[in-house]
Amino acid sequence: EPEVTQTPSHQVTQMGQEVILRCVPISNHLYFYWYRQILGQKVEFLVSFYNNEISEKSEIFDDQFSVERPDGSNFTLKIRSTKLEDSAMYFCASSATGTPNEKLFFGSGTQLSVL
C-alpha cells in the first residue's frame, strides 16, 4: 500500500526557534492535513490544504503556524517561534478527494520536543 513519509522522525529544538516538519503525501492525493498529539491526549486537527491553499484550520493553528507545498511532492509545516507547549507528535495525512467518507493515509509522525 502507498505510504505517507515524514521527516525527521524526531526533532529537538530550543524554545523560540523555528522548525520545519516535512511530509511527502501519496503522489496522486489532492488533500493534505496536519494533526498533532500531545502525549496522552487526543489526536487534534490542525489544518487541511487543497489546491495550494488552506481549506480549513483549527483554533490551534495560529499565526505561528504555516503550511506550504513548495514543490510537487513535499508538504511542510512550519512553526515560527516554538513554545514548550508545541511539544507533541505531529502527523501528516493525505487523502485522494477530501470527501467525508474517505479514509486518511497517515505518516509515522515527527516527535517534536521543545526545550
Partner 1 sequence: AQSVAQPEDQVNVAEGNPLTVKCTYSVSGNPYLFWYVQYPNRGLQFLLKYITGDNLVKGSYGFEAEFNKSQTSFHLKKPSALVSDSALYFCAVRDTYTGGFKTIFGAGTRLFVKA
Q: Which residues bind partner 1 (CB under 8 A)?
A: 4, 6, 9, 31, 33, 35, 40-45, 48, 50, 55-56, 58, 91, 93, 98, 100-101, 103-109
Nearer to partner 1, 15 or 54 (CB): 54
DSSP 8-state code for residue 39? T
Smallest gap from Cβ 84 to partner 1, in A, equals: 21
Rounded to a whole number of angstroms, the minimum distance from the CB of residue 94 to partner 1 is 11
Among 3, 36, 40, 49, residue whose Cα is nearest residue 109 = 36
Query: 84 and 114 in contact (C-beta within 8 Å)?
Result: yes
CA–CA distances in Å: residue 109 to residues 19, 22, 34, 73: 15, 10, 10, 17
Nearer to partner 1, 62 or 103 (CB): 103
Cβ proximity to partner 1: between 42 and 84 the closer is 42
